[in-house]
Chain A
Amino acid sequence: MSEPGFPVDRRRLMAGIGALAGTNLLPLSAFAQTRARVIIIGGGFGGATAARMLRDLLPSARITLLEPNATYTACPFSNLVIGGTRSITDQHFSYDALSLSGITVIPEHATDVDPVARVVTCGDGRTLAYDRLILSPGIDFRWNAIEGYDAAAVDRMPHAWKAGPGTLRLRDQLLAMEDGGLVVMSVPAPPFRCPPGPYERASLIANYLKNHKPSSRLLILDSQDAFSKMPLFKEAWERHYPDHLEWRAASQDGRVICVDPSSLTLSTDFEDIRADVANVIPPQKAGEIAERAGVADATGWCPIDATSFESVLQPGIHVIGDATIAAPMPKSAFSANLQAKVCAIAVARLLSAMDAQPTVLANTCYSFITPDEAVSIAGVYSNAGGKFTNIDGAGGLSQLGAGADVRKAEAAQAEAWFGAITGEAFG
Chain B
Amino acid sequence: MFARSCLLVAPLLLAVACQRAPVLSSIEQSVTDASRLTEAASLAATCSGCHAGPGTGVPSLDRMDAGTLSARLAFYKTDADGTTVMHRIARGYSQAQVDAIGQYLGAESIDE
The answer to whether A249 has its CB under 8 Å from any CB of chain B is: no
Pick from B41, B83, B92: contact of A360, CB below 8 A: B92
Q: Does B107 contact A (CB under 8 A)?
A: no
Q: Mark B32-45, 1 if CB is under 8 A from A, else 0.
A: 10001111011101
Tell me if A359 and B43 are in contact (CB < 8 A): yes
A364 touching B39, Cβ below 8 Å: no
A36-B25, A351-B26 known; A378 vs B85 contact (CB < 8 Å): yes
Contact across chains for A361 and B16 when beta carbons are under 8 A apart: no
A345 near B37: Cβ-Cβ < 8 Å? yes
What is the predominant secondary structure among interface residues of chain B facing chain A?
helix
**Chain B 15-51 interface 0/1 with A at a Cβ cutoff of 8 Å (1 = within):** 0111001101111111110001111011101101111
Instruction: Judge whether B37 and A354 touch: CB under 8 Å.
Output: yes
Asked whether any CB of chain A lies closer than 8 Å to the CB of B71, the reply is no
CB contact under 8 A between A380 and B93, given known A58-B31, A361-B46: yes
A359 in contact with B42 (CB, 8 Å): yes
A398 at interface (Cβ–Cβ under 8 A)? yes
Whether A412 and B57, one on each chain, are in contact in the complex, defined by CB atoms closer than 8 angstroms, is yes
Q: Please tell me if B110 contacts chain A, counting CB pairs below 8 Å.
A: no
* Candidates B2, B6, B28, B53; contact of A419 at CB < 8 Å: B53
Chain A interface, number of residues (Cβ within 8 angstroms): 69
Q: How far is the CB of A349 from chain B (nearest CB, A)?
A: 5
Residues of B within 8 A of A395 (CB): 88-89, 91-92
CB of B39, distance to nearest CB on chain A (Å): 6
A22, CB-defined interface residue at 8 Å: no
Within the assembled complex, what's the spacing in Å between the Cα atoms of A7 and B12?
A: 18
Which residue of chain B lies nearest to A339 when distances are taken between CB atoms in the complex? B45
**Contact yes or no, B6 A10, CB < 8 A:** yes
Flag whether A279 is at the interface (Cβ < 8 A): no
* Cα distance, A262 to B60, chains bound together (Å): 51
Q: A132 vs B26: C-alpha distance in the bound complex, in angstroms? A: 9
Beyond A17-B17, A26-B21, A417-B49, 10 additional contacts (C-beta under 8 Å) are A30-B22, A35-B29, A352-B27, A357-B39, A380-B92, A398-B83, A409-B84, A415-B57, A416-B50, A421-B49
User: Closest 3 CB pairs between A and B?
Assistant: A380-B92, A394-B92, A416-B57
